[in-house]
């Protein structure tokens, strides 16, 4: 079974771009998160779907001109774990 | 419970009741706030209580404990001679912990041409002294401690309480302001030497008038004069640190602060004297749209 992830519902998040970072206000917790790339891009490509890290990495490649390799996937996995610790994405059983 | 003396004060949008076991701090407050209006309908937002630490200490080496609607358990008691400082600290504490009608920024502010200059920074940055100094040089004083950012309109509302001058700032202001506007000098308080200054009359008369924020400065005293650009992310983080109620306000606070960061130009400003600061500020101000 491969781990899948799903982003927090769209209505729970308010996005605001600053010069070098992205602010995400998470309505249910009232917490403001300040995210650096590629975390905002990961959330953006996930949309409403439950996806594996591999699928997310390939969506990033398609949308953001990122090289798709094992390294990229490892980076995505690390960011997914961080975002899930923040409550911005959830692990779903696949 | 023994009898408490009390007075009511209105400072900008906030109304306070100050109750005290002793008359003296209230008499000092009354004298310094003589030009301020009383709350109109007897209703207050906050109560501050100055009480003896222990019942017998009303008389023997009297020591003032600060209480009120909001309080910090580890606030150290002050000697009675510093009762005025205790009252001011008590009012600041109520605002910092309890105010919800605006986003509260730990910042000084002054106004000119309907536009507000906001100065924020750590203690010792000189923001309070700068606001007091500019208030004697053609700016309207809006506050030396808290700038109140409207959640609806994005305007800054004044909170022109007494200006709390510390250490060297006392002598600097004594050169330009008549003695009648000063409170008693309190030596060696937990915050150093303190002397309160009554804001200029115009600041009190116009304390209900907001202004559109036009410039945000992060002053730093003691360095060669210089202005530096700052990134929005750094500005946002520093303002959340400078706000005592950003978290408590939730979504409205987020919208108010992001709008502020988007719209208000900001600079870090180093300076070694009020004259240098005024020159840098005048130059920036003249270039604003």
Check whether residue B136 and residue B224 sit in a common domain.
yes
Among residues 257-276 of chain B, which lie with CB inside 8 Å of chain A? 258, 261
Check whether residue B110 and residue B227 sit in a common domain.
yes
Interface membership of B229 toward A (CB under 8 Å): no
Last residue of a domain, one of B98, B114, B136: B98
- Backbone phi, psi, residue B231, to 5°: -75, 150
Owning domain of residue B67:
5-98
Last residue of a domain, one of B48, B67, B98: B98
- At A68 the pLDDT is 63
Question: Residue A1 pLDDT more than 70?
Answer: no
**Whether the Cβ atoms of residue B58 and residue B50 lie closer than 8 Å to each other:** no
- At A67 the pLDDT is 66
Buried b (16+ CB within 10 A) or exposed e, B37-76: eeeeeeebbbbbbbbbeeeebeeeebbbbbbbbbbeeeee
**Which ranges of chain B have pLDDT less than 70?**
1-2, 56-57, 60, 73-75, 289
Check whether residue B92 and residue B118 sit in a common domain.
no
Percentage of chain A beyond pLDDT 70 is 91
- At A6 the pLDDT is 96
- At B189 the pLDDT is 86
Check whether residue B131 and residue B243 sit in a common domain.
yes
ipTM for the predicted complex comes to 0.91
Check whether residue B126 and residue B19 sit in a common domain.
no
Structural domain includes residue B126: yes
Structural domain includes residue B209: yes
Interface membership of B233 toward A (CB under 8 Å): yes
Interface membership of A14 toward B (CB under 8 Å): yes
Alpha carbons B82 and B64: distance in angstroms, whole number? 8
- At A93 the pLDDT is 80
Beta bridge partners of B182: B197
Check whether residue B57 and residue B111 sit in a common domain.
no
Domain count, chain B: 2
- At B191 the pLDDT is 83
Structural domain includes residue B204: yes
pLDDT tens, position by position, A19-46: 989 999 999 999 999 999 899 999 999 9
Structural domain includes residue B29: yes
pLDDT tens, position by position, B22-44: 999 999 999 999 999 888 777 89
**Whether the Cβ atoms of residue B142 and residue B186 lie closer than 8 Å to each other:** no
Structural domain includes residue B177: no
- At A63 the pLDDT is 83
Instruction: Report domain extents, chain A.
Output: 4-88
Check whether residue B145 and residue B225 sit in a common domain.
yes
Q: Do A20 and B233 touch (CB under 8 A)?
A: yes
Residues composing chain B:
289
- At B90 the pLDDT is 92
Among residues 50-69 of chain A, which lie with CB inside 8 Å of chain B? none
User: How many angstroms separate the CA of residue A32 from the nearest CA in chain B?
Assistant: 8
**Whether the Cβ atoms of residue B269 and residue B277 lie closer than 8 Å to each other:** yes
Choose the closest CB to B251 out of A18, A25, A34: A25
Interface membership of B153 toward A (CB under 8 Å): no
Structural domain includes residue B20: yes
- Model pTM score: 0.92
Check whether residue B9 and residue B93 sit in a common domain.
yes
**Whether the Cβ atoms of residue B116 and residue B212 lie closer than 8 Å to each other:** yes
Last residue of a domain, one of B62, B82, B98: B98
Check whether residue B9 and residue B117 sit in a common domain.
no
Interface membership of B71 toward A (CB under 8 Å): no
Check whether residue B127 and residue B75 sit in a common domain.
no
Choose the closest CB to B258 out of A19, A23, A30: A23
- At A66 the pLDDT is 67
- At B51 the pLDDT is 87
Structural domain includes residue B274: yes
Structural domain includes residue B142: yes
Interface membership of A21 toward B (CB under 8 Å): yes
């Amino acid at each position: 079974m491969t781990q899948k992830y799903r982003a927090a519902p769209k209505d729970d998040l308010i996005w605001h771009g600053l010069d070098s970072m992205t602010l995400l206000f998470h309505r249910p917790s009232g917490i403001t998160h300040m995210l650096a790339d590629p975390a905002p891009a990961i959330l953006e490509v996930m949309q409403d779907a439950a996806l594996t890290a591999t699928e997310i990495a390939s969506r990033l490649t398609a949308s953001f001109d990122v090289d798709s390799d094992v390294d990229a996937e490892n980076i995505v996995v690390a960011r997914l774990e961080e975002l899930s610790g923040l409550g911005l994405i959830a692990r779903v059983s696949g | 419970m023994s009898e408490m003396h009390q007075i009511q004060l209105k400072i900008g949008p906030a109304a306070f009741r100050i109750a005290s076991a002793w008359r003296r701090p209230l008499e000092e407050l009354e004298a310094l706030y003589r030009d301020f209006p009383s709350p109109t309908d007897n209703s207050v937002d906050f109560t501050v209580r100055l009480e003896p630490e222990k019942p017998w200490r009303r008389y023997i080496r009297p020591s003032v404990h600060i209480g009120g609607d909001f309080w910090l358990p580890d606030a150290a008691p002050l000697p009675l001679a510093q009762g005025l400082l205790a009252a001011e600290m008590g009012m600041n504490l109520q605002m910092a912990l309890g105010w919800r009608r605006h986003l509260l920024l730990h910042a000084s502010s002054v106004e000119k041409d309907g536009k507000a200059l906001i100065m924020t920074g750590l203690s010792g940055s000189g923001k309070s002294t700068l606001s007091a100094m500019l208030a004697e040089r053609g700016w309207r004083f809006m506050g030396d401690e808290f700038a109140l950012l409207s959640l609806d309109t994005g305007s800054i509302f004044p909170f022109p309480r007494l200006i709390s001058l510390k250490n060297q700032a006392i002598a600097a202001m004594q050169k330009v302001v008549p003695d009648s506007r000063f409170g008693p000098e309190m030596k060696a308080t937990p915050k150093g030497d303190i002397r309160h200054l009554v804001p200029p009359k115009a600041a009190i008369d116009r304390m209900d008038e907001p202004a559109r924020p036009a410039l945000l400065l992060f002053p730093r005293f003691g360095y060669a004069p210089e202005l530096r650009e700052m990134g929005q992310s750094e500005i946002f983080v520093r303002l959340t640190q400078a706000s005592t109620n950003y978290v408590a306000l939730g979504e409205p606070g987020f919208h108010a602060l992001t709008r502020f960061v988007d719209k208000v130009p900001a600079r870090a400003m180093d300076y070694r004297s009020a004259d240098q600061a005024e020159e840098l500020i005048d130059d920036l101000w003249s270039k604003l749209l």
